[in-house]
Amino acid sequence: MNLAYNSDKRRYIRYELLDYAVMELDGQKNTVNVVITDIGLGGMQIRTKSELISGTKCMVHVGCVDGTTLDLRGEIRHATKLEGSELYGAGLRFVPENHEERMSVAEFVHQIFQRQAEELSS
C-alpha cells in the first residue's frame, strides 16, 4: 500500500484510507453512507451507492476513536458512476468556515498520516 500519492492537479498530498462516514447533503433530509478512500488537507475521495451532484454542499460526519464525531464541511467537486459497479466515486473539497474547522481538518489528516507511518514501521 502506498503511504501517499500526489496528482499533478492536487495542491496537497493525499493519504489512502478506508473509513466509513455519513454525509448530509444541503437541502436533503436523508443522510448518505460513504466510504472515504483517500484524504488530504484539501479534500477527500469517497465511494457511495447514492448518486451525487457536483457543486452540492455537504457535511461529512466521521466517527472518532474517542467516541466523538468529526464534522467536515465540503463541496462535491466531481462525481461519476464507477464502471462495472453500483458505486459512485466523488471528490470533495473541504470548505471550512472558520479557523476551528480548518484546524479540525489538519488534525484529522495528521492523525491519519501518523497512523499509517506507525503501521509501516511495525
Calpha distance 100→106 (Å, rounded): 10
The reported pLDDT for the residue numbered 10 is 58
> Which CATH class, in words, describes the domain spanning 8-121?
mainly beta
* Domain parsing of the chain, residue ranges: 8-121
Rg (CA), the chain: 14
Helix, coil or strand: residue 89: strand
| CA 107 from centre of chain | 14
What DSSP state is assigned to residue 54?
T
Q: pTM of the entire structure?
A: 0.84
pLDDT per residue, tens digit, the chain (122 aa), is 444 444 446 576 788 888 999 999 998 889 999 999 999 999 999 999 999 999 999 999 998 878 889 999 999 999 999 999 999 999 999 999 999 999 999 999 998 888 887 877 77
